Structure 1
Amino acid sequence: MDVNMKNSPISAQNDAEESRHWLINKRFCLPIALVILLWLPSSREVTLQVLADAYFQVAVFVYVSLALYYMVTLRIAPERIKRFMHERPIFEVGVAAMLGALPGCGGAIIVVTQYTKGVSSFGAVVAVLTSTMGDAAFLLLTQSPVDGLTVMLIGVVIGTLTGWVVNRLHNYQPALTSQNQQPGFADETCHKGSVFHNKISSISTHFWTLVWLPSLILAVLMAFQVDVAALLNIKPSSLALIGASLALSCAILWSLTSSGAAYCEIMSEEKVNPPVHWYKKAALDTQFVLAWVVVAFLCFELALLWLELDLVSVFNSLGGWVVAMAVVIGFVPGCGPQIVVTTLYLNGALPFSAQLGNAISNDGDALFPAIALAPKAALLATLYSAIPAFVVGYGYYLLFEI
């Protein structure tokens, strides 16, 4: 019986499909590029340092903040939030804006899903997409808490005001279809897990369970300018090699946790099948953030190394156009490009006005279910959120940066 099942056409088709996914997994581009850069003598030192910095300066703190955040938020049933918004429509837009301001995309996805079922108003969708900055919020909060909290507060205020105005002028409601009423539709089109991918997800969880505490101790000591290499009686290059090895391991695990065939499997965080455990969600999302931070760091450093470009000077030379550039990047669905913008801001390459404009215009992963279930509404909401993004971004630029 088992032999027959193995040789069945369905099994053969599944094997062929799995093999095809291996060949078209675009996530493999990152670890392959890292191996090549480490192999080339001209880029080896820079790549090692980038990987070590991305791990010790970003990934460790992101994992701890994600773990604490998910421990709390995953205990709050989404149904309670949905019921509260449904029973108190007068607070709906403000609550939606606050949900969007929460780091990550969970709150925004709740509001968008409710809208596609005909429960939430269109203004609530605009509010949540205006206030959210997705996983980039974790990066900004861990690296620059004051800036992160400032962006979140501004996002809530602007999102609430924009949502109220939209509800007054154009509370667009699409006709409900059977597709709209399938809550899992959008997620399933972007994430098709397999037994192998689930095993890699488990390995990622165990990996972070083992390394987070010693890594955090080292990262905190480094943040306080302690000579960790001397403390451990090793060479600084050996410490960098440890960090780079751990970062490369994360990049490889990230590339293997999904088929990497669909656009949203590269640009968005992993979907975790219920029941959702905080430690698994924290591990997978940390790897996603780390992957995009490494991409941003490498673009920054390799541009300086190979092209002799000072990106800070390049972006400064653009003047006010840099704000428009950041806002337009915010239109790209998913959190990956937005993490790049935030990384460039933290490295001093972009002004705060550009970070602010991008935070308001970017919709994170919440745009994926909106596009799948209500494409016209998704387009309208993106266009409406662009208006406050340009106004606030350029307002800050003209008032404080010229």
Structure 2
Amino acid sequence: MIGAQEAIDIFVYSVRDGFVQVSAFVAVTVLLFSYIQYRTGGRIVTFLENNKRLQPIAGALLGLTPGCGGAIIAMPLYIRGTISFGTVVATLAATAGDAAFVILVLAPEAALYAYGIAFVAGVTFGYAIDIWGLGVGRVDRAVDRLSRPMTDGGFSTTSVASGGPSVSGYEMDNCGHDHGGDTEPSGPLTTFSHAVHVIWWAVAFSGLVAGVLYLARGAPEVPLELAPTFFGLFTVAGLVGTTLSFYLHFVGRRYIGEGEAGRIRDDFQSAYETFQHAAMETSMVTVWVIGAYLVYEYGVAIFAIDIGALTAAAGVLAPIAGAALGLIPGCAPQIVFAGLYAEGAIPFSALTANAISQDGDALFPLMAIDMKAAIIATIYTTIPALISGILLYYFWPFASFGFGVLG
């Protein structure tokens, strides 16, 4: 059992760390891709729709972007039927997650090899799924028996194995949600929500500065502090950012034109709308991230789980453990894992297996809209992770502890 004070500390630290370590980076990458979409008039989505053979490569490139923003962009594209399920798997397999920032800073050579292998494995497996299926139908039916698909708005479901999402193919515009535009309500809450949105971006950029400094300092322990210092910036940005994110997701989105979370926009009417969309998507991810942090941290505290002991297993069990750890959604355990690798506690084969298996925060938008597809996708990213990790263990000459770590 854990005491009341420890439970409170876990809650406060998780609420703070989730925003600075994850959401601030997600916000910038989602904004970047949304702004490109705005400046190109939606031609990125059109290009993907018209070039299906390139989709797994494009998806893996999105996933390879440090952080989870690129991969988060891809998930709503699958829901609307723009990209294939193989592309989803390629994207998630190549996703570096927020653990990439830790590895890039502390072990850049290892990051180059690990994420390069993840990219190749993701693309290869993505094409294999699209061409041959690789038993997706069997997994589809097994998941269907275990859990009822969760969808946003009560869509009828179809088979993931048929090549599309397990939501029906009609347009998202018919889902009954408020999609914004000219229909958004007016009044005090609308004005207040717009003000919160503007403040949210100021806090998000402050959180990004704190997050970069945090990584530059080697991801140290950060105490709670309210002062004009790095620790103070980290604490205030994290606590305020999460609070504002919860408001935008649960209340504000009903008043400022982004009533439906987890969707892709063909185009944006203005730069402000682009910022607004990125804030709403990031706020939705923040809600899931904080939930994942709390489950992880309370689980570690209650059950006394030692990730280092689990993943630093002897022999070929190390990459298997790394791949298994990647099944946990979110970036919290993966960031811990990356830190352990930088300390020389985990072999390179395990790092690479985890890099391929982990889906980062990109899985959360898919879980929010189509739980069935999310479960199947995370199962299928674990398969190439196991294959790659075991092959590296036996044949990679540098698959040892400490490969590529600075200092």
Q: Which TM-score band applies after superposition, normalised by the shorter structure?
A: 0.5 to 0.7
Q: 1:147 to 1:290 in 2, by over 3 A?
A: farther
Q: Paired residue for 1:165, among 107, 128, 133? A: 128
Q: Aligned match of 1:112 in 56, 71, 78?
A: 78
Shift in Å, 1:242: 6.0
Question: How far apart, in 2, do the equivalents of 1:379 and 1:292 lie?
Answer: 17
TM-score, length-normalised on structure 2? 0.57
Q: In 1, distance between residues paired with 2:22 and 2:106?
A: 8
Alignment of 1:219-258 (within 5 A): 220=213, 223=216, 240=231, 243-258=234-249
CA deviations over 1:9-32 (Å, ceiling 9, x no partner): xxxxxxxxxxxxxxxxxxxxxxxx
- Aligned pairs for 1:189-200 within 5 A: none
Where does structure 2 lack aligned partners over 5 or more consecutive residues? 135-160, 178-183, 219-224, 252-260, 402-407
2:391 is equivalent to residue 395 of structure 1 = yes
Cα shift at 1:161: 1.2
Q: Deviations over 1:52-80 (max 9, x none)?
A: 9949xx92797368436623552225842
5+ residue gaps, structure 1, are: 1-32, 226-233, 261-269
Tell me how far 1:151 sits from its aligned partner: 4.4
Distance 1:163 1:178, change over 3 A: closer
Q: Structure 1 vs Structure 2: percent identity of aligned residues?
A: 17
Whole-Å Cα distance in 1 between the matches of residues 387 and 242 of structure 2?
37
TM-score, normalised to structure 1's length?
A: 0.57
Determine if the alignment matches structure 1 residue 277 to structure 2 residue 275: yes
Aligned to 1:346: 338
Structure richer in helix, relative to its length: 1
Report the CA distance shift for 1:327/1:201 in structure 2 as closer, same or farther (over 3 A).
Answer: farther
CA deviations 1:80-123 (Å, max 9, x no partner) are 23332343344333223223333423342254235x3xx54443
**Partner Cα separation in structure 2 for residue 391 and residue 222 of structure 1:** 31
Letter in 1 for 2:357: S
- CA 1:388–1:124 in structure 2 vs 1: closer, same or farther (change >3 Å)? same
1:183 to 172, 178, 186: 172
| C-alpha distance 381-295 of structure 1, shift in aligned 2 (>3 A) | closer
Equivalent position amino acid for 1:108 in 2? A
| Cα 1:288–1:142 shift into 2, 3 Å | farther
1:127 positional shift: 2.4
Matches of 1:395 and 1:84, distance apart in 2: 36
Structure showing greater Rg = 1
For 1:367 and 1:290, how far apart are their aligned partners in 2? 8
Once residues 166 and 16 of structure 2 are traced to their aligned partners in structure 1, the CA distance between those partners, rounded to angstroms, is: 48
Separation in 1, partners of 2:176, 2:166: 17
Matched, 1:123 2:60: no
Change (3 A) 1:259 1:155: same
Q: Give me the whole-angstrom Cα distance separating, in 1, the residues matched to 2:353 and 2:330.
A: 11
Residue number in structure 2 paired with 1:216: 209
- Give RMSD over aligned pairs: 5.6
Letter in 1 for 2:58: V
Q: Distance in 2 between matches of 1:223 and 1:176?
A: 40
Q: How far did residue 160 of structure 1 move?
A: 1.5
Residue deviations 1:190-246 (CA, integer Å, cap 9, x gap) = xxx999799568536415516845983897499479xxxxxxxx9999864664344
> 1:52 and 1:385, CA in 2 relative to 1: closer, same or farther beyond 3 A?
closer
1:2-401 to 2 correspondence within 5 Å? 36-37=5-6, 54=17, 59=20, 63=24, 66-67=27-28, 70-71=31-32, 73-76=34-37, 79-102=42-65, 103-104=68-69, 105-113=71-79, 116=81, 120-133=83-96, 150-170=113-133, 172-174=161-163, 179-183=168-172, 202-203=195-196, 205-209=198-202, 212=205, 216=209, 220=213, 223=216, 240=231, 243-259=234-250, 271=262, 275-277=273-275, 280=279, 284=283, 291=290, 295=294, 311-313=307-309, 315-317=311-313, 320-321=316-317, 323-331=319-327, 337-348=329-340, 351=346, 352-363=348-359, 364-366=361-363, 369=366, 375=372, 381-398=377-394, 399=396, 400-401=399-400
Counterpart residue type for residue 72 of structure 2? G
Whole-angstrom CA distance in 1 between matches of 2:23 and 2:164: 40
